[in-house]
């Protein structure tokens, strides 16, 4: 076990470091293999196009898709926008109703609000105390005007994993298109778009130790065939859904990151669960309470709150040694309560007590033990001050 290097990074839901194996795969495509994948008249372009298609095949196989169902984008936010705006536009003749959820990522919620400004109808399903929607309520909400359902696969704040297969079954039963934002799920837990009845799925490389600025949208090709309108107009790349010169080094890195993630997923999840179980058991001794579901959750996520102790006080006390995030979205001047934690039924004050710990591939046991001890001591000290 190596000596601890500070600060310890424990915010892997925000982003992950690029795995050195991924970087090694990418570097040639910045230098000697720098061709445009659309320039097929010479070897530079041809070699780039081959690399893109090999990565596309790896990514497709990892999620149970066909290679031609993978559309490369700049990341999950763009994929979410294409999925919602493009689908609601393409199938406007079917209806004008979208169903989503109050705990979605802002990339979905803000896009849904934009759709409302365009005259579309949006239903925002509520969740229970664990962050789960009610499947019967979902089905009851579907009308003859419903075009699509968009429900997140795994929540980025609390780690709760949705019953995606059942949601997809309900969608298909009513001939409704089903999209999921799977940015936190793909590469971390098994995903099979066919078995899970998924029609559109957004995900990003930088959440699985790949580079930033590259993501994908899975677009079902058959039964049913789905084709959202593109948001960009240009060279017709990516089946006219996402025109623009392909980010070849990013795509190559994405493919390698996915390959590694699939091969190491089981061992990483076993390790992460041991660590989060350890942390939670220790934090509960000083009053810590879990946010999210106790079992249906990402193994590398731990969102807890300590009643009466501001998350900002904890974070400021440990920031030189440990990087974690608050359970609320902070800006320079305003600390807003987390919309996810409010949706679970926590009051506004309690949302400001929450911290999110995101474990990662390159963390080590001694770092986790140090973190547990540090947060334990800080919380105990802050409790004495607050009495």
DSSP string computed for 273-341: HHHHHHHHHHHHTTT-EE-S-SSSB-TTEEEEE-TT--HHHHHHHHTTTEE-EESSEE-SS-EEPPHHH
The answer to whether domain 20-258 has CATH 3.40.1370.10 is no
Catalytic residues: 330
Over residues 255-275, the mean pLDDT reads: 98
Please give the mean pLDDT across all residues of the chain: 96
Over residues 107-114, the mean pLDDT reads: 98
Interatomic CA distance for residues 95 and 176, integer angstroms: 10
In sequence order, which ranges of the chain are alpha helices (DSSP H)?
20-26, 43-62, 76-81, 87-90, 106-117, 135-141, 164-173, 248-284, 311-318, 339-343, 348-351, 365-386
The secondary element (H helix, E strand) that includes residue 356 is strand 354-358
pLDDT on residue 136: 98
Choice among 10-24, 115-129, 323-337 with the minimum mean pLDDT: 323-337
pLDDT on residue 215: 98
pLDDT on residue 327: 61
Over residues 164-184, the mean pLDDT reads: 98
pTM: 0.96
Neighbouring C-beta atoms of residue 18, cutoff 10 Å: 18
**Tokens standing for residue 349:** 């004050």
Contacts of residue 271, Cβ cutoff 8 Å, sequence gap at least 6:
none
Q: Classify 181 as helix, strand or coil.
A: strand
Choice among 1-5, 22-26, 309-313 with the minimum mean pLDDT: 1-5
pLDDT on residue 40: 86
How confident is the model over 330-365, as pLDDT tens digits? Answer: 443 557 899 999 999 999 999 999 999 999 999 999
**pLDDT reading at 280 higher than 90:** yes
Neighbouring C-beta atoms of residue 224, cutoff 10 Å: 11
**pLDDT reading at 1 higher than 50:** yes
pLDDT on residue 387: 61
Residue 149 phi, psi (nearest 5): -120, 135
How confident is the model over 56-78, as pLDDT tens digits? Answer: 999 999 999 999 999 999 999 99
Q: Per CATH, the architecture of 8-17+264-386 is what?
A: Alpha-Beta Complex (3.90)
Domain map (residue ranges) of the chain: 8-17+264-386, 20-258
């Amino acid at each position: 076990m190596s000596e601890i290097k500070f600060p310890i990074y424990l915010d892997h839901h925000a982003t992950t470091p690029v795995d050195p194996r991924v970087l090694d795969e990418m570097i040639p495509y910045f230098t000697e293999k720098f061709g445009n994948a659309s320039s097929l008249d010479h070897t530079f372009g041809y070699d780039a196009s081959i690399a893109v298609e090999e990565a596309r095949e790896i990514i497709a196989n990892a999620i149970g898709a066909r290679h031609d169902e993978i559309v490369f984008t700049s990341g999950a936010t763009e994929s979410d926008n294409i999925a919602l705006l493009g689908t609601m536009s393409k199938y406007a003749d079917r209806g004008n109703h979208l169903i989503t959820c109050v705990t979605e990522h802002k990339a979905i919620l803000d896009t849904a609000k934009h759709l409302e400004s365009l005259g579309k109808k949006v239903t925002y399903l509520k969740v229970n105390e664990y962050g789960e929607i009610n499947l019967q309520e979902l089905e009851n909400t579907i009308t003859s005007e419903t075009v699509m359902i968009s429900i997140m696969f795994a929540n980025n704040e609390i780690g709760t994993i949705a019953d995606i297969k059942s949601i997809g079954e309900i969608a298909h039963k009513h001939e409704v298109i089903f999209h999921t934002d799977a940015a936190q799920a793909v590469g971390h837990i098994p995903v099979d778009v066919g078995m899970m009845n998924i029609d559109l799925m957004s995900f990003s490389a930088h959440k699985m130790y790949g580079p930033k600025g590259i993501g994908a949208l899975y677009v079902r090709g058959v039964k049913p065939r789905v084709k959202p309108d593109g948001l960009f107009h240009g060279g017709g790349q990516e089946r006219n859904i996402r025109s623009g010169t392909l980010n070849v080094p990013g795509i190559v890195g994405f493919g390698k990151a996915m390959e590694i993630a699939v091969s190491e997923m089981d061992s990483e999840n076993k390790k992460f669960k041991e660590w989060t179980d350890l942390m939670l058991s220790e934090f509960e001794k000083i009053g810590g309470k879990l946010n999210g579901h106790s079992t249906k959750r990402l193994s590398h996520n731990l969102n807890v709150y300590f009643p009466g102790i501001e998350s900002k006080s904890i974070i400021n006390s440990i920031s030189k040694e440990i990087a974690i995030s608050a359970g609320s979205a902070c800006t320079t001047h305003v600390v807003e309560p987390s919309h996810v934690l409010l949706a679970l039924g926590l009051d506004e004050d309690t949302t400001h007590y929450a911290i999110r710990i995101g474990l990662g591939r390159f963390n080590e046991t001694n770092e986790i033990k140090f973190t547990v001890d540090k947060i334990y001591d800080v919380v105990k000290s802050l409790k004495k001050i607050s009495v």
